[in-house]
Structure 1
Amino acid sequence: MKTLTLLRHAKSGWDDPVARDFDRPLNPRGRRAAATMGRHLRALDMAFDRVIASPAVRVQETLDDVGQGFGRMAPEWDRRLYLASAASLLDVIRECPADIGSLLLVGHNPGLEDLVLMLVPDERGGLRDSVEEKYPTATLAQMTFAVDDWAAVAPGGATLTHFIRPRDVDPELGPEA
């Protein structure tokens, strides 16, 4: 059994005058959402054998803030995760050694959302419907696979066990009116 968790970076600051998208930082709301999600992950007693993350500034800051509530993580920064497609993310997953039981990927949309939709069978009425509706910033999706090796992860082979948005943890982090 393998467990894959996907975390989208928290809300970034579009008002910040940065030259490159890669350098865009989080805004104050995003920082609060990331810290809230970190505390919630700790309350759920989640654990990760390996963390692979996009090196974009907003992802680095998300992990810093998640770490305040969850505990420090030591991510492997992988440039391939920056704005990666679902297919590219799947390649990274399949490269993981078989002895890794629980993997956390931290990155960007639309790749993360597309990956969940690729891996989880389309059965109406479940958590997948919420993913299809919207995968907001600082949201976490967790899936399990009945496989012994990450190389065997295949489309339609996942069970979506968690889809947690910041607003599910703290209603004040819901969409702005």
Structure 2
Amino acid sequence: MKTLTLLRHAKSGWDDPVARDFDRPLNSKGKRAAAMVGRHMKSLGLTFDHVVASPAVRVAETLDEVAVGYGEALAPAWDRRIYLASAVTLLDVIHDLPEMADHVLFAGHNPGLEDLVLMLVPDTLAEPLRDDVEQKYPTATIAELRFESGTWSDVAAGTARLTRFIRPRDLDPALGPDD
């Protein structure tokens, strides 16, 4: 069985004067949310034998803050294909994951991550968390997908079970949407 945990980057600073979207950093709320999500991941006993991430500044900073809460560095393999990727491109990245890795953390962006979950998880009554994803996949949110298949190359549309969907506001209401 393979497990893929998707982490959307934390809230970034739109008011920061950067020349490229790629260079946009996290804001203070995003940093707090990422650290809290890291603490929660640790409390759940989540472990990863491989981490792959978009090299965008906001993703790198998210992983740094998650590591603070998690209590250990995550050491990602940076993959530029993930930056603002479609679900189809993200599926290509999944197919390229090392087969020896059973628990992978994947850090990236929306709408690609949300679309990936909706593509991989069947739309049935047996997947109630899918409705939450369909409504919104907020920043610093994790979604855990499990696959019965023993290989990443077998991952395809409709083959995942969504076992967790944890938003920062589920952990601390102050980290929810601004009013």
TM (normalized to structure 2)? 0.97
Task: Tell me the residue number matched to 1:146.
Answer: 148
Task: Tell me the residue number matched to 1:57.
Answer: 57
Structure 2 Cα separation of the partners of residues 84 and 96 of structure 1: 16
Task: Tell me the residue number matched to 1:108.
Answer: 109
Identity of aligned residues (%): 66
Shift of 1:119: 0.2
1:122 maps onto 2:92 in alignment = no
Shift of 1:98: 1.7
Task: Tell me the residue number matched to 1:21.
Answer: 21
User: What do residues 49-78 of structure 1 show as CA deviations (whole Å, max 9, x unaligned)?
Assistant: 100000000000000000001121100111
Structure 2 Cα separation of the partners of residues 142 and 152 of structure 1: 17
User: What do residues 8-65 of structure 1 show as CA deviations (whole Å, max 9, x unaligned)?
Assistant: 0000000000000000000000000000000000000000110000000000000000
Structure 2 Cα separation of the partners of residues 32 and 100 of structure 1: 29
Superposition misfits of 4+ residues, deviation over 4 angstroms: none
- SS of residue paired to 1:88: helix
1:85 maps onto 2:70 in alignment = no
CA contact (8 A) 1:97 1:149 kept: no
- SS of residue paired to 2:62: helix
Structure 2 Cα separation of the partners of residues 135 and 152 of structure 1: 25
- SS of residue paired to 2:143: strand
How many residue pairs are counted as aligned between the two chains?
Answer: 177
User: What do residues 82-116 of structure 1 show as CA deviations (whole Å, max 9, x unaligned)?
Assistant: 00100000001011122110111100000000000
Task: Tell me the residue number matched to 1:39.
Answer: 39
- SS of residue paired to 1:96: coil
- SS of residue paired to 2:22: helix
RMSD over aligned Cα atoms: 0.8
Structure 2 Cα separation of the partners of residues 13 and 72 of structure 1: 24
Gaps of 5+ in 2: none
User: What do residues 106-141 of structure 1 show as CA deviations (whole Å, max 9, x unaligned)?
Assistant: 000000000000000001460000000000000000
Structure 2 Cα separation of the partners of residues 91 and 79 of structure 1: 12
